[in-house]
């Protein structure tokens, strides 16, 4: 997909549950889960994404920079590499999963290029990341002239800017989708927070570019058609 096609797709695409989409792509596949230990859920949590994918994938390996945690998880039967260990393998994967990781790195172009080498000839790279144009940002600026962001984030992408990153990394966008909130209204407390959550959903129903999260499905430029 070219950048103008991605922008057009963003205008009409509907949001779906992140875990549902990831499960669809990873079921029965060989998966590399990049930045698997932290993700948006701690590995000690019941809904840790890596564990959920492990249940449905043919094979799953993780890679992370948290060496102490890697040692702990290996003792519990998980296959998780350091970056240096992964480089020493000849592993290729059907799915390279990056769940809310790309916004933490120093150089997203180099990051994508590095992990593209672990794709099988018909493999896909599945990336989730927050949307810079999300409704919550608009609402927080409107009412508070401020916005919230994870202090560990180095980048915030919209469909256009991430498409440019993909292009510079010499990859293709196979598909683009929106992902809904990672939480439900039952987790929202307080009158003001509930008001913001309701208003956010109203804006999203009006304009798709207000959706909170993005999902990009990428392939290598030399990937065979599937």
User: Taking residues 118-144, what's their average pLDDT?
Assistant: 96
| 209 and 11 Cβ atoms separated by less than 8 Å | yes
At 167, phi and psi to the nearest 5?
A: -60, -45
Q: Is the pLDDT of residue 40 over 80?
A: no
Look at residue 226 in the predicted model and tell me its pLDDT: 43
Confidence of residue 45 (pLDDT cuts 50, 70, 90): confident
| 172 and 116 Cβ atoms separated by less than 8 Å | no
Beta-strand (E) ranges in 10-91?
Answer: 15-16, 30-34, 59-63, 80-81
- The angle formed by the CA atoms of residues 23, 199 and 184, to the nearest 5 degrees, is 35
All domains of the chain in start order, with CATH: 3-133+150-183+212-220 (3.40.50.150)
CA atoms within 13 A on the CB side of 77: 3
User: pLDDT (tens digit, 9 = 90+) per residue, 99-122?
Assistant: 999 999 999 999 999 999 999 999
The pTM score is 0.93
Which of 7, 218, 38, 49 is closest to 133 using CA atoms? 7
Sign, Cα dihedral of 209, 211, 213, 219: negative
Which of 226, 218, 223 is closest to 168 using CA atoms? 218
Confidence of residue 182 (pLDDT cuts 50, 70, 90): confident
Instruction: Give the separation between CA 70 and CA 80, rounded to whole angstroms.
Output: 6
């Amino acid at each position: 997909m070219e950048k103008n096609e991605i922008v057009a797709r963003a205008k009409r695409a509907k949001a779906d549950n992140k875990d549902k989409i990831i499960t669809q792509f990873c079921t029965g596949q060989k998966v590399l889960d990049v930045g698997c230990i932290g993700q948006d859920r701690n590995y000690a949590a019941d809904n840790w994404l890596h564990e959920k994918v492990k249940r449905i994938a043919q094979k799953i390996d993780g890679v992370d920079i948290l060496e102490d945690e890697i040692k702990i998880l290996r003792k519990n039967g998980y296959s998780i590499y350091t970056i240096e260990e992964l480089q020493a393998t000849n592993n290729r994967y059907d799915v390279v999963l990056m769940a809310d990781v790309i916004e933490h790195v120093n150089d997203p172009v180099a990051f994508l290029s590095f992990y593209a080498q672990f794709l099988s000839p018909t493999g896909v790279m599945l990336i989730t990341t927050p949307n810079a144009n999300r409704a919550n940002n608009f609402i927080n600026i409107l009412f508070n002239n401020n916005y919230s962001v994870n202090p560990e984030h180095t980048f915030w992408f919209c469909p256009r800017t991430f498409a440019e990153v993909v292009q510079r990394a010499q990859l293709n966008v196979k598909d683009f989708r929106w992902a809904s909130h990672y939480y439900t209204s039952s987790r929202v407390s307080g009158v003001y927070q509930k008001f913001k959550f309701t208003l956010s959903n109203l804006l999203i129903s009006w304009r798709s570019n207000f959706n909170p999260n993005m999902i990009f499905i990428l392939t290598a430029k030399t990937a065979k058609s599937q």
